[in-house]
Chain A
Amino acid sequence: MIINHPLLGPRDAAEFVYLGDASLMERPDPQGPEAADNFHDYAYLRKNPAGEHRELWYHEQGDRSWLVVTRNTLTHEISKVELARDVAVTRRGGQ
């Protein structure tokens, strides 16, 4: 596969390490109500859809960016690649 890195352009998937479901970025609030249950779900439950999936890839043999890659798990079509940091900042309401 080829991942179109937002900063470095098209790079071979062999340069990356796969982590999985991008929901891993959504770490629960440790002080929040039901933190134990939320952390249980966060640690153990993953989406594994047949179709479009947002997933985390790490450019270990490159610039060490974590990327959020939107990939169709049936066709391997990659429709979107974002810097995970940008996604995280947006999720937190900008910085």
Chain B
Amino acid sequence: MSQVNRIKGGLIDTNRSLTFTFNGRKMQGHPGDTLASALLANGQRLVGRSFKYHRPRGIFTDGSHEPNALVELESGAHLEPNTRATTVELYDGLSARSQNHRGSLEHDLMAVTDLLSPFMAAGFYYKTFMWPKAFWEKLYEPMIRISAGLGSLSMKEDPDHYDKGFLHCDLLVIGAGPAGLAAALAAGHSGARVILADEDFRPGGRLSGETFVVDDIAGAEWTAQALTELAAMDNVHILTRTTIYGAYDHGVYGALERCTDHLAVKGDKPRQILWRIYSKRALLTAGATERPIAFGNNDRPGVMLAGAVRTYVNRFGVTPGREVALFTNNDDGWRTASDLAAKGVSISAIVDARDQAAPATIPGAQVFMGQSVVDTKGRKGLKSITLSGGHTIPTDCLAVSGGWNPNVHLTCHQRGRPDWHEGINAFVPGGALPPGMAVAGAANGTLTLGAALSEGHRAANAMTKDLGFNASRKPAPKAEDEAHECAAFWHVGASRARAWVDLQNDVTAKDIKQACVEGMASVELVKRYTTLGMATDQGKTSNITALAIMAEVNGKTIPETGTTIFRPPYTPVAMGALAGRARGKDFRPYRLTPSHQWAKANGATFVETGNWLRAQWFARPGEKGWRDSVDREVKMTRASVGICDVTTLGKIDIQGRDAAEFLNRIYTNAWLKLPVGKVRYGLMLREDGIAYDDGTTARLGENHYVMTTTTANAVLVFRRMEFARQCLWPDLDVHLISTTDGWAQYAVAGPNARALLAKLVDAPFDISNEAFPFMACAELSVCGGTKARLFRISFSGEMAYEIAVPTRFGNSLMEVLMEAGREFDAVPYGTEALGVMRIEKGHAAGNELNGQTTALNLGMAGFINKNKDCIGKVLSERPDMNRDDAIRLVGFKPVDHSQKLAAGAHFITKGDTANMANDQGWMSSVAFSPTFGHSIGLGFIKRGHQRTGEVVRAVNPARGSEVEVEITSPHFFDPDGGIQRG
């Protein structure tokens, strides 16, 4: 099939040809074509099937408001469903397929649904699928799932990449039609920084599709000159193929730029960029959208908006038909007839709903004033139209014009409601616009060219002047104002056949009437009941007609009937673009510990803990599973010495005259008497009295402390301490800085920890137990002058130290420690062994500090100092949080040592039924203890501290297991602490 409908002219490059396929058929087009214009040029009228009834449909519009011509582009992982053919820029090798049909497009097996339409009227699913109830899951839902949706997904990962970016400007001009170009020129000349954005690949708006004259030259030529002038200005940034999809707070606009979609060879550039544009002012010059008139069988391929027909003829050099008819209620529609006649396209009939004199004479055309189209014929393409006067006229293309609706969408994104404008029978921007926004041109209801140009020019001058720039002295571009008188005529009541209002969702005029009759009084309800205005086009061509029909049924005016709220995005935005680079493992950055490289080279398996990647265990050859490695790490640490990277714990440097008093108010326990060179354990509460976080704080100097927090809460504790410092107690002299990333810190634990560290610590510093006892701290140097901090603290229960050096020395300190530890058989251990040893020792961690437990529950009631205030103290004293039967943290071991414990199991007293009423508490942490040779656990149980030795049942209904456990002290390992003090 050759380009049978290609005619002369147009803004396309006919010297070059592009080959593309539609449903596998090879076709030709030219650079400058859209997929839609190329399909029309090739005589392809049938392009898709409708959503609900699978009716044959053709191209209806020339832009992003297209309801019908949705296609799937490309294949494999690159498949893109629901793409509007009217916005796809043609490229060589493009492959497109029609969608929503089973079997071929011409012979859709699902077309049978059209015959069932009497049973599928508005709200049918709310009525049909209610009974019998049992049918829902087995029949109705699977059936609906098969028929629902338009295009299909590739079900593969998106192979393209997307970027995000930020732009700043004084004035954002949204839409590069006549008003937008005039505005950008004026603002550009004033010196303001201007961004001019347009969704089309060719700026110009209606100037590209019309035969207008501006400043005495052809509109398209004037556009080209304006763009050349703008491109030469350093302060003007032109974004084509860019949709401003949302107006957000404080002058921020969302924009989607399509960078490579139009290229035959996509290269490695990002496919699309999601821009966040920060503007001081914005001018909406988004133009207007033509609306159809609803009449019987108005959905056949070949029925098209009149303005779109002009665009195809004038811009693309394509005629959508050989014998074109026109149905209009306004003067503007007549220009379709005159433009087509000028191009030599035959006009068969002009039907004008207005009962008045014809506004023009078109050679060869029959004119029917005061008549309307009541029906059409032609199953897969329009063949004839029938008029209210009884005439039947053969035609293969009917251009329909019902007037123009200003594109007010972005003015409504912050709840602005448009006003009704009687003069043009349409909504115009009204109410409170987003601050900083103004509207000009057709988007503002200024539908004629001369007025739109001068309004754009004026608005830009006013806004740049407001921003302190000198307004341009150049005059506004000049053009005539075309006739645009329009009658309030929405649908043809005399039509007996179905009259389609929303083509995308198959909503008819009758559906809307029925919804009204059934009590859907508000437009929001009608929308949801009938699905009007949903899906990819969001009712851009249907909403106003539907409102008009509602108004008629309810005996109200259109403004009384209301309008739906427009929300972002203006046109669909791909999820990939919203995600940008933040997908998969790149969703958020990893933080690597200082010894990461060493750990990687030494067989570590890593685990994500918050943002950190930490070594979980270090497998050695011959070990069959993780338990082998973890058991070995625990045993070797307890037998000699182990080393663990604990850098991820939060570190907060606290300085100032009132640092001790500040700690006193943050922690529950007392801090005023901690000597320099000592470390103390501290517990924090939330203000509601629940335990929040714990850690140790070291006093390095008179007014200098270093706090550690749990890894998980490092950021939150710091934030909260800044809050306390700035908002609660600004009178205290205290300063905070997070040094988590500044210091690499390692636990060195086990009987040989001291001997190992003694090899590294520079003389004359003495780390003997006498000189540097349990809970001591010091600033010193290691390895011949590297500054370091040493803390005599123990999480494992071993005789242990934590040593810190500036982060840049972290990896080499790990190497040095392992080298020095060779004679002791030193072992690196990961988070699993760390966890096993802390459970053996009975230290609470995240599983115990879970946001539900109090100091009393944790066995730390004594840590709340009675003689001072601290965050959470007052509410921790509430009677219900201090009941005698409160849960307490204790240890558990299986009566039968061969049995495994499960975290999450609940405790039930022996003899009681396992139900909620008899719940005694829960197991919070479990581990296999290589030290004791059996499973051990920590958990909370009512009055646990008084129940040592009692046997209870640990019931786990989720896994269907039950284990008898004996209540013990939580401190399995070294309960009196002799080892850690040794």
Q: Using a CB–CB distance below 8 Å, which chain A residues touch chain B?
A: 1-2, 17, 19, 24-25, 27-28, 30-31, 35-36, 39-40, 42-44, 56, 58, 60, 64-66, 75-78, 83-85, 87-89, 92, 95
* Given A84-B727, A88-B730, A36-B875 contact (CB < 8 Å): yes
> How many angstroms between the C-alpha atoms of A1 and B869 in the bound complex?
38
The answer to whether A2 touches B250, judged by C-beta atoms less than 8 angstroms apart, is yes
Task: Mark interface residues in B683-696 (1 if CB within 8 Å of A CB, else 0).
Answer: 00001100000000
Cβ proximity bits B722-755 to A, threshold 8 Å, 1 near / 0 not:
1100111011000000000000000000000000
- Assuming A36-B878, A43-B688, A58-B723, is B728 touching A30 (CB within 8 A)? no
Taking A35-B874, A65-B726 as known contacts, 9 extra A-B pairs with beta carbons closer than 8 A to each other, sorted by chain A number, are A2-B251, A24-B727, A56-B727, A58-B723, A66-B722, A76-B414, A78-B250, A88-B726, A95-B730
Which residues between 639 and 690 of chain B lie within 8 Å of chain A, taking CB atoms? 687-688
What are some 23 contacts across the A-B interface (CB < 8 A)? A1-B250, A2-B250, A19-B723, A24-B723, A25-B727, A27-B728, A30-B873, A30-B874, A31-B869, A36-B875, A40-B875, A43-B688, A43-B875, A58-B722, A58-B723, A66-B722, A66-B723, A76-B250, A76-B414, A77-B435, A84-B726, A85-B730, A88-B726
Contacts of A44 in B (CB 8 A): 688
Please, which residues of chain B bring their CB within 8 A of the CB of A85? 726-727, 730
Q: Within the complex, what minimum Cβ distance (angstroms) separates A41 from chain B?
A: 11
Chain A's nearest CB lies how many Å from the CB of B866? Answer: 12
Residue of B nearest to A40 (CB): B875
State whether A88 touches B722 (Cβ < 8 A): no
Q: Residue B719 at the A interface, CB < 8 A? A: yes
Residues of A within 8 A of B723 (CB): 19, 24, 56, 58, 66
Which residues of B sit under 8 angstroms from A76, Cβ to Cβ? 249-250, 414
- Asked if residues B249 and A2 are in contact (CB atoms below 8 Å), the reply is yes
Of all chain A residues, the one with the shortest Cβ separation from B869 is A30
B275-296 contacts to A (CB < 8 Å): 278
Contacts of B722 in A (CB 8 A): 58, 64, 66
Contacts of A95 in B (CB 8 A): 730-731
Interface centre among B249, B715, B730 (most CB of A within 10 A): B730
B687 touches A2 (CB 8 A): no
Decide yes or no whether B252 CB sits under 8 A from chain A: yes
- Given the complex of chains A and B, what is the CA–CA distance between A94 and B245 in angstroms? 48
**Docked CA distance A30–B867 (Å):** 12
B877 at the interface (CB under 8 A from A): yes
We find that the number of chain B residues with CB closer than 8 angstroms to chain A is 25
| B879: nearest chain-A partner, CB-CB | A36
Taking a contact as CB atoms under 8 Å apart, the answer to whether B877 and A36 are in contact is yes
Question: Of residues 235 to 268 in B, which have CB atoms within 8 Å of A's CB atoms?
Answer: 249-252
Q: Are B249 and A1 in contact (CB under 8 A)?
A: yes
Chain B contacts of A40 at CB under 8 A?
875
Give CA–CA (A92, B413) in the complex, Å. 42
Interface of A, helix, strand, loop or mixed by DSSP: mixed
Chain B residue at minimum C-beta to C-beta distance from A60? B719
Min CB gap A80→B, angstroms: 15
Q: How far is the CB of A23 from chain B (nearest CB, A)?
A: 11
Number of A-B contacts (CB under 8 A): 72
Which residues of B from 556 to 582 have beta carbons under 8 Å from A? none
Residues from chain A with a CB closer than 8 A to the CB of B877 are 36
Task: List B contacts of A2 (CB < 8 A).
Answer: 249-252, 278
Interface centre among A39, A56, A58 (most CB of B within 10 A): A39
Whether the Cβ atoms of B250 and A17 lie closer than 8 Å is: no
Shortest CB distance A67–B (Å)? 10
Give the residue of B249, B432, B435, B874 whose beta carbon is less than 8 angstroms from that of A36.
B874
A83 CA / B252 CA spacing, docked (Å): 24
Complex: how many Å from CA A64 to CA B718? 10
In the bound assembly, the distance between CA atoms of A30 and B874 in angstroms comes to 7
Determine whether the beta carbon of B435 is less than 8 Å from that of A39: no
Question: Would A75 and B414 count as touching, CB distance under 8 A?
Answer: yes
A8-B719 Cα distance, complex, nearest whole Å: 19
Q: Which residue in chain A gives the minimum CB-CB distance to B728?
A: A27
Q: How far is the CB of B273 from chain A (nearest CB, A)?
A: 18
> A17–B719 contact, CB under 8 A?
yes
A32 CA / B726 CA spacing, docked (Å): 22
> Nearest chain A CB to B689's CB is how many angstroms away?
8
CB-nearest residue of chain A relative to B737? A64
| Contact string against A for B residues 868-887, beta-carbon threshold 8 Å, 1 for contact and 0 otherwise | 01000111011000000000
Which residues of chain B have C-beta atoms less than 8 A from A66's C-beta? Answer: 722-723, 726-727
With a cutoff of 8 Å between Cβ atoms, the chain B residues found around residue A89 in the complex are: 730-731
Do residues A39 and B727 form an inter-chain contact, with CB atoms below 8 A?
Answer: no
Contact with A along B494-511 (1 / 0, CB 8 A): 000000000000000000
CB distance from A38 to the nearest CB of B (A): 8
CB-CB nearest in chain A for B725: A85
B731: min CB distance to chain A, Å: 6
Query: How far is A73 from B869 in the complex, measured between Cα atoms in Å?
Result: 35
Chain B: which residue is nearest A86 at the CB level?
Answer: B730
Q: How far is the CB of A64 from chain B (nearest CB, A)?
A: 6
Contact check, B728 vs A88: say whether CB atoms are below 8 A apart: yes
Min distance, Cβ B868 to any Cβ of chain A, angstroms: 9
In the bound complex, residues from chain B placing their C-beta under 8 Å from that of A19 are 723
Question: How far does the alpha carbon of A65 sit from the alpha carbon of B414 in the complex, in Å?
Answer: 29
Q: How far is the CA of A7 from the CA of B719 in the complex (A)?
A: 19
By a CB distance below 8 angstroms, the chain A residues around B687 are 27, 39, 42-43
Report B-chain residues with C-beta under 8 Å of the C-beta of A84: 726-727
State A30–B375 Cα separation when bound (angstroms). 81
Distance in Å from the Cβ of A92 to the closest Cβ of chain B?
7
**Chain B residue at smallest Cβ distance from A88:** B730
B-side contacts of A78, CB under 8 Å:
250
- The CA-CA distance from A71 to B496 in the complex, in Å, is 56
Tell me the smallest distance from the CB of B195 to a CB of chain A, in Å. 17
CA distance A84 to B517 in the complex (A): 57
Residues of A within 8 A of B878 (CB): 36
- The residue in chain B whose Cβ has the minimal distance to the Cβ of A83 is B726
CA distance A28 to B435 in the complex (A): 39
Q: Render B845-880 as a binary contact track against A, CB cut-off 8 A, 1 for contact.
A: 000000000000000000000000100011101100
Q: By CB atoms of chain B within 10 A, which of A60, A64, A77 has the most?
A: A64
Please, which residue of chain A has its CB at the minimum distance from the CB of B736?
A: A64
Contacts of A27 in B (CB 8 A): 687, 728
Chain A to chain B: the 4 pairs with minimum beta-carbon distance, closest first? A30-B869, A2-B250, A85-B726, A39-B874
Chain B residues with CB under 8 Å of A17's CB are 719
A55 to chain B, nearest CB (A): 12
Residue of B nearest to A58 (CB): B719
Interfacial chain A residues near B278, Cβ < 8 Å: 2
Question: What separation, in Å, do the CA atoms of A5 and B134 have in the docked complex?
Answer: 60
Q: In whole angstroms, what is the CA distance A30 to B349 when docked?
A: 88
Can you list, as one digit per residue, whether each of B128-171 has a CB less than 8 Å from chain A (1) or not (0)? 00000000000000000000000000000000000000000000
Query: Which residues of A lie under 8 Å from residue B730 when comparing CB positions?
Result: 85, 88-89, 92, 95
List chain A residues, Cβ under 8 A from B250.
1-2, 76, 78
CB of B662, distance to nearest CB on chain A (Å): 14
Task: Name the B residues within 8 Å of A83 (CB-CB).
Answer: 726
Residues of B within 8 A of A30 (CB): 869, 873-874
Q: Smallest distance from the beta carbon of A53 to chain B beta carbons, Å?
A: 15
Give A92's nearest chain B residue, CB to CB. Answer: B731
- Pair A25/B728 contact, Cβ less than 8 Å: yes
Of all chain A residues, which has the CB nearest B877?
A36
Kindly provide the distance from the CB of A24 to the nearest chain B CB, expressed in whole angstroms: 7
List the B side residues contacting A24 at CB < 8 Å. Answer: 723, 727
- Considering only CB atoms, which chain A residue lies closest to B166 in the complex? A12
Q: Which residue of B lies closest to A25 (CB)?
A: B727
CA distance A76 to B251 in the complex (A): 12
The complex places the Cα of A77 from the Cα of B728 at a distance, in Å, of 27
How far apart are the CA atoms of A25 and B722 in the complex, in Å? 12
What residues of A have a CB within 8 angstroms of the CB of B715 in the complex?
Answer: 60
A78→B480 CA distance, assembly (Å) = 44
Distance in angstroms between the alpha carbons of A89 and B732 in the assembled complex: 11
List chain A residues, Cβ under 8 A from B249: 1-2, 76
- Whose C-beta in chain A lies nearest to the C-beta of B722? A64
Q: Who on chain A is nearest to B248 by CB?
A: A1
